[in-house]
Every structure is written in structure tokens, then in C-alpha cells.
Structure 1
Amino acid sequence: MPLDSQVQMVLEKMKQLGVPPLHTLSVEDARKINLNGMAAQPEEVWRIENQKIPGPSDCIPVRIYTPRREAPLPVIVYYHGGGWVVGNLDAADVLCRRLANGVNSIVVSVDYRLAPEHKFPAATEDSHAAVVWVAEHAAALGADPNRIAVGGDSAGGNLAAVVSLMARDRGFPSVKFQLLVNPVTHYSFDTDSYRENAEGYGLTTNTMRWFWNHYLAKEQDGLNPYASPLLSPSLSGLPPALVLTAEFDPLRDDGEAYAEKLKAAGVPVEAKRYAGMVHGFILQTGAYEQGRNAEEHAISALRKVLHA
């Protein structure tokens, strides 16, 4: 498929504005980039609360979205994208609001520690600690501990996949579903999508190298399944998944390979590639119709599982 016409317009505008690739910036300057500038208008949610929960080394900031419904509600623990280096609670705010209202679920968005200040496995340990906290404090949240889903986009998709592995391996908590959008699943750049979409489509292969170089303390860590879930020796016993990918994304093949490996392990998986789309499109619902379609796709899948 050709590049979507709405994407073409956005990429052309970025080119005219001279928006630099993230890997050419310092970490400090990269963090100043507004990651949700193309999101739709934020929806009203009945209650939104910022708080800090205990983490492995320090408190973890979270943002809790609660729709006005009868408790107990299911709960989605969400991890923002940004290559483990940039991004924050605001990056996923519009999507988290939409998930709370659309799924009729509490959403707990997690501001895990970022690299390079905090290398792997800091983000994964924070991410798992957050879902454990949600399970242990379900009653206070008005949540059902038997209906917990995890989700994330990009590096957040990586963390959602890894948390599902960690929860299985550590025996707690029970995760019912994983939403993986444009996930990073392998410390490797040797795929067709990394070559075909290396530059010109927003996220570049060089930017992914930059992210990984900041995230890993040593290259060997990239072989750890909690960094590269595609390398996990077994994916059996993991929760059902929805894996959404974009045609013109360096990470496309990462997500699709993970979906296939989940299927081969007997995990129920729905995988969909959005033709003509680029990385991060589900967050860019103010610009891309297909971003809105993907959002509705995710909401529908989550509703089906969490309100079965």
C-alpha cells in the first residue's frame, strides 16, 4: 500500500519545519519534544488522580483514570512509549482517557524510570511493581483483581509484553490480556522493516539504535528476554494479546514476529497491520483516521475480554 495521504501531509509539514530526528539531539532536548501534539482533544473522565506508589528503588508516579461506573471495574495498566528514554504520563494521556471511557475500565498509567539515568532493568522492574501494586490495592481502587490487562505503545508495548512474562514467571499477578501497539520485541535491527523504513517515516532505525544504546548498560543485556521478549525460550501460558503494527514502521516486523511466536505457543492472538501508517499512529488521532480506527479496535478487544 502507498503511504496514507494524511501521513504524507504530516511528514511533509515536519520536513518543512525542519523537525530533527531524535537521535541527533541530546537526551535533554529530546525530552522537550511534545509527543502528543497530534492527539485528538482529550475527553473528560469522571476522576483523574496523580499519585506515587512504592517502587523497587523509589516512588513511581502514576495517573489513575476512573470512569463513573459501578465498582468493581476492570483495570488496564498502561505504559507510555518513548524508547525508554523520553515520554511521560502526558504522552499517553489522550489515549488513556479514551480507554477509560471506551472500555469502561480504570486505567493506571505508569511513569517508569527512564534511561540513560536508569538503565535496564529499571523500567521493567518499575512496570512489574506497578501491576503488582494495582492487584494488591484493587479494592481501594474500585478494581477487580481478576480483570487486569496491560498495554503500551512502542517501548511501552515492550514493557507490557515483558510484564506479562514477569507476571507468569513470578506467579503474580494474574494478567488477563495484553495490548501491544507497535511494540519493540528484539534488540536487533536485521529485519525487512528496519531496512525498508530506516528513514523518512518519523521513527528512524538510527533513532532506535540511539534508544537501545541509552537503555542497555551492556550489549549482552539485549539478549535478556525481559529486554527482548521475542528471545524468551517459551511464550506459553501468557495472556491473550492484540498486536497492532504499522506498515511504514521500523518496528513492524518486531511486532508481527512476536504475534506469530505467541500463536505458535498456543496463546490466543489477534494481529493487525495498519496499511499506510507510521509508528505511533494510535496516539495521533487528531491527524490520522486510521489512528482513530486502531483506538476503537483496541477498545473493542479490551471490552470483549474485560467485560466477558
Structure 2
Amino acid sequence: MPVLSRRASLLLPLGLAGLASACATSPEPMPPADPTGRADPQMRDLLESLQALRPKPIETLSPAEARLQPGMADAVKHRLNALGRPDTPRPLPVVRDLQIPGPSGPLAARLYSPAELPRRNQGQPLLPLIVYYHGGGWVIGSLDAYDSSARTLAAEAQAVVLAVHYRQAPETKFPGPVNDAYAGYLWALQNAAQFGADLSRVAVVGESAGGNLALDVAMAAREARAPLPVAMGLIYPVAGTDVTTESYMQNANAKPLNAAMMRWFFDKYITSPSDLQDTRLNVYGRADLRGLPKAVIVTAEIDPLRSDGMLLAERLRQSGVTVVAQDFPGVTHEFFGVNPFLLAQAGAAQRFMAGELQSAFALPAPAVVVPDRRRARRG
């Protein structure tokens, strides 16, 4: 057995103490970037890029803290930088920040156009118009975080896009964001001509909570007998309030969106539990969906909201609404706006949405059909 020198024996306790100290201060092991193990290789690379930015669990934070966390847009830039690729936004002739009137003051908005805006009496052809609502659970998210989606829609659908920001919870509870979204839609209709947009070819598009707002806007326009959009682009929409659906169970721990986050979002958004049964939130469960325009629905396999989109599609079809839906395997919530160079499925979803919107723009504008409430009550 080796014998330690006197000097070594004196230093040994110090070495053990240092080792114990190092172990005590070492960071906890990070959870897997893809807890489900079902992401395709490109999606997994993006999830690893997001994990490298060390986001904190949203459901453990205050709303102010949550708004500062990195998201998928940051992960895309991180991944592009790692590959030595430029992370500059997709170029468009027109990208302009605006302020538009809202129910309780100005709302931030951003205009995107694939062509220069017309000058007076220029006589150039009018483009379709898309009113777009970003995601973020009505609490987080911004025009900047979803800039890529709006740029993509403008370029791929060859349409003017007005991205409308809305007041967020918990500072503004339900239905404040719904009212803001509808005000943005009406303003877009009233001002379409100055953007070179065609008033008869308008669609609403939204992602996640923004998909919920796009639905609500179409229903509000129907009820008010206002011009209907020709289509609703619903990208993994929040379409119900049941957090026990099949996809909520399968993807309870998914990233970047999990079931605990959705419960946190609902808690911050509603004023009372009864709001969860409002037809503007529990859409597939309680809303009258008759008379709505064509719905183009995108869902992702690894997403708690996957069942929401599928249940909504079923209810819309039962209500006589034209539905075109596509589910994308191996990808997660927030995949739609990703650079197609990094994620082929994102490019496929973008082309699918743009193509279906263009098909809707080519058809006559839908007539406003308001369901007979008395007949519905008798039924």
C-alpha cells in the first residue's frame, strides 16, 4: 500500500474540500432538448440550439420575466450562426412599422409588401391582403418574434401583410386582445387601398394564440355582417380549453410548448373560470361555426395543440365550412416560421399555406351568412 508523504497528507483534506465545493457549485444537468424523442433530425438541431440559449421554464416565471426568454426565432439565429450562415431577415420591398387605432389606444402594427406601395393614380394591380396575428399565448410574443412568418406569407402568397400586435395579458385580460384583433381587421379593410390591397381578397392568418384571434375575428365579422375574409389561415391554433386531449397527454413535456405552459397562459388570460367556456375560447366545443370562410389548418405532430386543430377541422366540416388541413410529422409548435434551409418541413408548411390562400383569393368573396340564433335554440 503506497505511503503518503507528510506534505501530501496535509494537502489531501484541502483537495477533498475543493472537489466537494466544485461538485456543489456545478450546474444541474440540462433536460433533453427533445423530451419526446420524436423530433426529426433538423427539428432536433433547432431544439438543441434553443436549449443552448438556456431558456427558463415559462410556467415558473412572471409575465415580465417570460417576455425576456429566448424563443424559436432566437434558436434559428443561433443555428444559422453556428453554420456560418447569415441570419438576416428575408428581404421585401416594403417593411414598415405603423400605429393603428385600437379600442383603448394605438396598437403597434407592421406592414409587409412584396411590391412597392402604389402612388396616387399609378394604376398598378391590387394585391391580396392578409391580416396576421402572432402567437405567444396572449401573454408573450411580439411582431419581432414572428417577423419571419409575416415576411414568408407576403413573399409566398404574393400578398400585402398587416401584422397586428394586441394588448397582452395579464395587463389586458380576455376579451381585450380579441377586441384589438377585430379593430385591426376593420382598420385594414378601411385602409386597404392605400397599401395597394384588394378589399375583396382579404384573409386572416394567425399562429397559436394568434390562430385563436383569427378565428374570433372571422366570427365577429360574421355576427356584425361586416365583410368576411375569404379564408382563415390557422397555424396550430388554440381552438379549445380542454387540456386533457390526446395531444396534451402525448406532448405534456414537449418543447418549446408544453401542457404546463398552456395552463399558465390560460390562467393569465382569463378573468374567471367561466371564460374558458366562452365560444371565443372553447371554439370547437361551443361555438356556432356555420357561415365561416374556408379554413386552412396547419398542425404539428409534437405539439399539445395538435388535437385542437384536428377537432376544430372536424367541427368546421360538420358545420358546412370548407377545410383544408395538413399535419406535419416530426416537428414541434413554432416550426412554421423557421428558415426552410434549416427545416424542410417549415418550407413545406409555408408553401401549403400560401398555395391554399392563393386559391381562396382567386374565388369570389364569400357572402355574409349569419346563423339564425332562434333556429339554433329551437334545435
Tell me if both proteins adopt one fold, taking TM over 0.5 as the criterion. Answer: yes
Deviates more, 1:40-49 or 1:234-243: 40-49
Match among 159, 171, 188 for residue 105 of structure 1: 159
Distance 1:11 1:248 in 2: 12
Partner of residue 23, structure 1: 59
Distance 2:321 2:224 in 1: 19
Give the superposition deviation at 1:41: 4.3
Is 1:175 paired with 2:229?
yes
* Structure 2 CA distance for partners of 1:71 and 1:92, relative to 1, 3 Å: farther
Q: Secondary structure at the match of 2:188?
A: helix
> Structure 1, residues 267-296: CA drift from partner, whole Å, max 9, x if none?
110111111111111022353211121111
Distance 1:78 1:17 in 2: 28
Partner of residue 64, structure 1: 111
AA aligned to 1:273 is D
Larger Cα-atom Rg: 2
Partner of residue 272, structure 1: 326
Distance 2:313 2:356 in 1: 15
Give the superposition deviation at 1:17: 5.2
Distance 2:338 2:271 in 1: 32
Give the superposition deviation at 1:305: 1.5
The 5-angstrom pairing of residues 27-106 of structure 1 reads 27-35=63-71, 36-37=73-74, 38=76, 41-68=88-115, 70-106=124-160
Give the superposition deviation at 1:7: 2.1
% identity of equivalent residues: 37
Distance 1:279 1:83 in 2: 12
Distance 2:180 2:219 in 1: 14
Give the superposition deviation at 1:161: 1.1
Structure 2 residues not aligned, in runs of 5+: 1-36, 78-86, 117-123, 364-379
Partner of residue 295, structure 1: 350
Distance 1:100 1:119 in 2: 30
Distance 2:301 2:244 in 1: 17
The 5-angstrom pairing of residues 146-225 of structure 1 reads 146-225=200-279
User: How many residues are aligned here?
Assistant: 308
* Structure 2 CA distance for partners of 1:46 and 1:213, relative to 1, 3 Å: same
Contact 1:21-1:204 within 8 A present in 2 as well = no
Structure 1 residues not aligned, in runs of 5+: none
Contact 2:134-2:142 within 8 A present in 1 as well = yes
Distance 1:303 1:15 in 2: 37
Is 1:5 paired with 2:28?
no
> Structure 1, residues 21-72: CA drift from partner, whole Å, max 9, x if none?
2112221121112432227742211112211111111111110112216342
Query: TM-score w.r.t. structure 2 length?
Result: 0.78
Contact 2:254-2:302 within 8 A present in 1 as well = no
> Structure 1, residues 123-154: CA drift from partner, whole Å, max 9, x if none?
10000111111111222222111111000111
Distance 1:277 1:171 in 2: 38
AA aligned to 1:6 is Q
Query: TM-score w.r.t. structure 1 length?
Result: 0.95
Distance 1:82 1:199 in 2: 18
Q: Secondary structure at the match of 2:202?
A: strand
Give the superposition deviation at 1:299: 1.1
Distance 1:91 1:176 in 2: 26
* Structure 2 CA distance for partners of 1:250 and 1:99, relative to 1, 3 Å: same
Q: Structure with the greater relative contact order (CA < 8 A, sep ≥ 6): 1 or 2? A: 1
